[in-house]
Amino acid sequence: MPTSDAEGKDWSLSWFRYHLPNTVTDVGPGEGTYAKLFRPVHEGVWWTAVEIHRPYIKKFRLTSTKTRKMYDEIHVEDVRESEDHLFHRDLVIFGDVLEHMPRGSAVTLLETIVAAGAWNILVSVPIVDSPQGEVDGNPHEAHLHQWDADDMDTVLAALGGRLETYRGSTLGCWWWNRG
């Protein structure tokens, strides 16, 4: 769904405050959960969104308005086909996104992002059985892989760098840092 469970958000915010990135790519922002949470903490950050489902941009008002700025730029595309420069960022966020693609595609994407120069990666995925199909006419909302927390640990550890983890009762969160 284009929303996210509150679990792990305080943990993620503490790591955001610690690293204070100046450039962020938010993959699959949905309703903009992380931009809403992080933007007030650190002004002047350049926020890029990569959203596969165009209707979400209008539905969740992801573009800038005179009174509020959520994202500075939005790319409507499948992130697996995005240009590498969108990942040469201080932080790339995958907030409840990687379960929407096959495991192999997710692993390849994470490897691509590290090779492109991401300094930090925030991952949040359900770590309990969470079957889901199409939502509101969006076929990209279907869960194609159920992540196990230990498997995500292994995948992210294989990227090198430093890894911090949070395991809640529903969601797991990982903060990978190039270190």
Per the rule left: phi > 0, alpha: psi between -120 and 50, beta: everything else, 47 is beta
pLDDT at residue 162, as a whole number: 97
CB-based contacts of 136, cutoff 8 Å, min separation 6: none
The answer to whether 127 and 148 are in contact (CB under 8 A) is yes
pLDDT at residue 69, as a whole number: 74
pLDDT at 175 over 60: yes
Amino acid at 119: W
The answer to whether 123 and 164 are in contact (CB under 8 A) is no
Rg of the chain over all Cα atoms, to the nearest angstrom:
15
Report field, pTM of the whole predicted structure over 0.85: yes
In angstroms, the CA 31 to CA 20 distance is 22
List pLDDT tens digits, range 14-27: 999 999 999 999 99
In angstroms, the CA 134 to CA 122 distance is 25
What the chain holds in terms of domains, given with CATH numbers, is 9-177 (3.40.50.150)
